[in-house]
Chain A
């Protein structure tokens, strides 16, 4: 099925560990986004990409890095996880940034 796929769906990390969240889309979308969702805060943009090889910071980029080596994939990295990064992470993609946004099913990350 066409759409946005996020892996993993759940993960528990210890403080200081690193990990990478993968977002893959098969809709040939140029724009991809990483959001985090915390209770009472809505979704906040971490980083985004407007095309292969380009990335930019969003509202809450600290502690995260991203890469877009292939058009269909957008990776979110945590180099040294902190409890404050416990959250649900959503990836989204859009053809132009002006058109509809398709969301993945989310990754629930807990840092202990």
Chain B
């Protein structure tokens, strides 16, 4: 079963506008973490922002903020004042709790492509 769902395969936004990238997740464990990564065309995975399930406030990192709605199981990434350099693939990921005999690990969504137009 899909644990991380990113329904938008691609989005376009005008430079300097804000954009929201959707992510929903599925877990029954009360302790989990949610991550957003950026992958530019050069291929590296760049960590953007993290939200813990017990965090009282939504996470923010510069132009990035995470709209965390726990009851709806959504963790949308908001990018304010888009820049041309924001054009990239974006991945939502969840730190999955350990299974029997296992360990915590990251589970990724399929990603979505953001294109920022000048």
Please classify the interface of chain A as helix (H, G, I), strand (E, B), loop, or mixed, using the class held by over half of its residues.
Answer: strand
B103 in contact (CB, < 8 A): yes
Cβ–Cβ < 8 Å partners of B33 in chain A:
98
Q: How many A-B residue pairs have CB under 8 A?
A: 55
Determine the interface band of chain B, counting residues with CB < 8 A from chain A: 20 to 34
- Kindly state the separation between the CA atoms of A98 and B31 in the bound complex, as whole angstroms: 10
Determine the interface band of chain A, counting residues with CB < 8 A from chain B: 20 to 34
Partner among A42, A58, A97 whose Cβ is within 8 Å of the Cβ of B111: A42
Q: State whether A45 touches B107 (Cβ < 8 A).
A: yes
Besides A98-B95, A106-B43, 11 other A-B contacts (C-beta < 8 A): A31-B103, A41-B110, A42-B110, A42-B111, A43-B108, A56-B103, A97-B95, A102-B47, A103-B45, A106-B44, A108-B43
Residues of B whose CB lies within 8 Å of any CB of A are: 4, 33, 35, 37, 43-45, 47, 50, 91, 93, 95, 101-111
